[in-house]
Amino acid sequence: MPGGVPYIICNEVAERFSFYGMKAILVVFMSQYLWLMGDAPGVQMTETTANAHYHSFNKWVYLTPFIGALLADIIFGKYKIIIWFSLIYCVGHACLAFMGITGSAGWWLFGGLALICLGAGGIKPCVSAHVGDQFGKQNQGLLAKVFNFFYFGINLGSFVSTLLTPWLLEWYGPHWAFGVPGVLMGLATLFFWMGRNKFIHVQPDGERFKQEAFGKEGISVILRLLPLYFFVAFFWALFDQTGSSWIFQSQDMDRTFMGIEWLPSQIQAINPVLILTLVPIFSFVIYPAIGKVVKLTPLRKIGAGLFLTVISFAIIAMIQISIAGGATPNIGWQLLAYLVITAAEVLVSIVCLEYSYTQAPKNMKSLIMAVFFLSVSFGNYITESVNSAIEVENPTAGLIDGKEKKDGSYVHPGFDGKQGTDDDITLIKEKEKLKKTLLPGQETLDAAAKIITDWAVANDLTLPTTEEAAPLIADLKDQWGSPLIYNRLASRTARLSSIGPDKEENTPWDIGYILKSPDTAAKKSDDNDDRQTWLEKRKAQLGLSEEEKKDKDSIEKTAFTGGQKKLDGPTFFWFFTALMLGAAVLFIPYAIFSKEKSYMQS
C-alpha cells in the first residue's frame, strides 16, 4: 500500500465533513434563516426557490472541476492545485461563518458559496486522480479496494457532520453551524500538506496532455465516455434531492425513529451509514456471488444502479401520496428509500469513479475526472431547471412593487396594471416588516376559510381532505365568477385559492391562503421544554415573536399571491421517477455496444 494513502484519506474525511456539513443545512438555512440575518427581516424564500438555488450551487460545484483539472494536468500538477484551491475553499467557509455580521447576508452567502464552488470544484478531479496516481501496474489490484476506502472516508466525514451541523444550526445558529465545517476544511488542508513528502507526484506534461487530449485517442476516450455520463447525470438529478426535496418532505413526517426525534436535515446521515455498511457487502459478498453466475462488468453494475434509483423515487412518491391523503407516515419509510438509493449509489457513483480513472489516458486522469463530475453538474442543472420552471412568480415579492400610500402601505396594481380597480393587492408594512396582505375578493376567501376551520374544529383540528372539502365550498365563487380551489398538501397543510382575475390556474395572479393545523407533537414538546432555539431568539430580537406566535388551538392562515408550484405533491416525485426510468431503459443498448480500454500509470 503506498505511503501517501493515509494522508489522502485523512484529508478526505475532514474535507467531506466541511462540505457535507455545510450542504446538509443549506436549504433549511435559505428557506427559514436567511431572511432573518439582517438588521430587519427580509422576504422569506420559498421551498421551491431554495431547492432551485441548492441545485444551482451543486451544478457549479461540479462544473468548476475543469479549471482544476486543466491547471493540474498542463501546468502545476495535482498536489499544488489541491493546496492552493483548498485555501480558497477555506475563505469561502469563512464568508458563510461571518454572514449577517455586517452588510447584506445575501451577498455574503453568494460570495461564500461562489468561493466554495471554485475551491471544492478545483480540487475534486485532482484528489480522485491523485489517489489513482499512487498505484502502478504492480499494485493496481489494490486500486478498487482503495477507492472503496476513499469512499469510506467521504462517508465517515459526511455522517458526523450531517448529525452535528443541523443541531448546531438549531441551537447555536448559522455562525457556528457554518464555522465548524470551516475549521475542518482548514484541518483537511493541513493533513494534505503533511503528506507532501510521502506522495507519488506525477508531474504535469503539457505537451503530452495536448497530444493525448486533442489527439485521436484522447478525443475517442471522451466521446466514448460522454454518453455514459449523460445517463449517470439522471441518477444525480434524483440522488442530490436527498438534500433538498426529501428534507422538505420529512418535515411532514413523524421523525421519531429508534426513540429519537430527528431534525429534518439529520435524516441524510443515514446515507453515509448505509454506504459504510453496503460497500463491504457489495465488495465481498454480492459481487463475488453474482460473478459466479454472470460476468459483472462496470457498465452492468451502473445499469442495475439506475433501475434501483427508479425504485427509490417510487417509494418517495408513494410516501407523498400518503402525506397528501392526510396521514403522517413514520420516517422509517423514507429510510427505506434511502437504503435503495444508497445501494444505487454504490453501483453507480463508486463504480463510475473507478471506471473513469481506468479509462483515462495517463496524462488525462484529472481531465477525465472533471468530465465525470460534469455528469453531477448536468444532473443538478436538470433538477434546478425543473424547480425554476414549476414555481409560479410571486408579483408582490419585492414588497414595494407599487405606489406607497400615506399610511405606509403599498398597493400592487394587480393583473390589469391599474391601481384603484378590483384586483389590487395591498401590502401593509410596519417598521420595515410585512404585517398584513389584503387580497382582492378576500371576503369570499375568508368565508371559505371559516367553513374549513369550523369543520376542522369539529374533527379534532384535522384539516379535511381535498374530497371532503369539495362539497363544503362548492357554492362559493370568487368575484370573477370562478369556483374556489382547495387542496390538502400534507397532513397539517392545505391551500385554499382563487385562480384570480386572469381566470387561469398556476399563474402569478392566483391568490389565497395556506391553512395549517396545529402540530400537537410540537405543542407537547413546547409544554415540556423551556429552551429557545436560535430561530426563536432571533425572531424575538427582531420583534417578530408576537406576530409569529401561533395559536396552537386553531387553524392558522397565511395569505399568498402567486409563488406556488405547478408540479405539487406526489406529481413532482412521479415526474422524476418517470424521467429516471426512461434513462435507465435507454442505457441498456449503450452498455451492450460500448467498448472498454484501460490505462494505468507505470
User: How many CB atoms are located within 10 Å of the residue 524 CB?
Assistant: 11
Question: What are the helix (H) ranges across 173-215?
Answer: 174-194, 206-214
What average pLDDT does the structure give for the chain? 86
Task: Give pLDDT, residue 433.
Answer: 58
The values of phi and psi at residue 204, to 5°, are -70, 145
The mean per-residue pLDDT over the stretch 253-269 comes to 91
Distance of alpha carbon 193 from alpha carbon 133, whole angstroms: 17
Whether the per-residue pLDDT at 528 is higher than 60: the answer is no
For the question of whether the overall pTM of this predicted structure is more than 0.85, the answer is yes
Query: Considering only CA atoms, which of 353, 303, 204, 244 is closest in space to residue 573?
Result: 244
Chain centroid, CA 190 distance in Å: 29
Provide DSSP, 46-83.
PHHHHHHHHHHHHHHHTTTHHHHHHHIIIII-HHHHHH
What confidence tier does 597 reach under pLDDT thresholds 50, 70, 90? low
Q: Is residue 559 within 8 Å of residue 428, measured between CB atoms?
A: no
With the CA atoms of 585, 588, 589 and 590 taken in that order, what torsion angle do they form, in degrees rounded to the nearest 10? 110
Q: What is the pLDDT of residue 545?
A: 62
| 3-state DSSP assignment of residue 493 | strand
> What is the model's pLDDT at position 519?
65
Q: In this structure, what C-alpha cell is assigned to residue 168? A: 448546531
| Residue 522 contacts residue 551 (beta carbons within 8 Å) | no
Q: Residue 367 and residue 374: Cα distance in Å, rounded?
A: 11
Instruction: List pLDDT tens digits, range 362-375.
Output: 777 777 878 888 99
Q: Is the pLDDT of residue 268 over 60?
A: yes
- Return d(Cα 543, Cα 292) in angstroms, integer: 68
pLDDT at 431: 57
Strand ranges in 206-265 using DSSP code E only, listed in sequence order: 256-257, 260-261
CB-CB contact of 400 with 426 (8 Å): no
CA atoms within 13 A on the CB side of 133: 26
CATH 3.40.50.2300 for domain 5-391+570-593, yes or no, is: no
Tens-digit pLDDT profile for residues 339-355: 999 999 999 998 998 88
> What was the pLDDT predicted at 547?
45
How far apart CA 534 and CA 539 sit, in angstroms, is: 9
Kindly list the domain boundaries of the chain, sorted by start residue: 5-391+570-593, 403-561
Element at 512 (helix H, strand E): strand 511-516
Q: Record the cell numbers describing residue 65, joined without a space.
A: 472541476
What are 213's three cell numbers? 487530449
Lowest-confidence pick of 260-269, 388-397, 521-530: 521-530
> Mean pLDDT over residues 314-329, rounded?
91
| Better pLDDT: 187 or 526 | 187
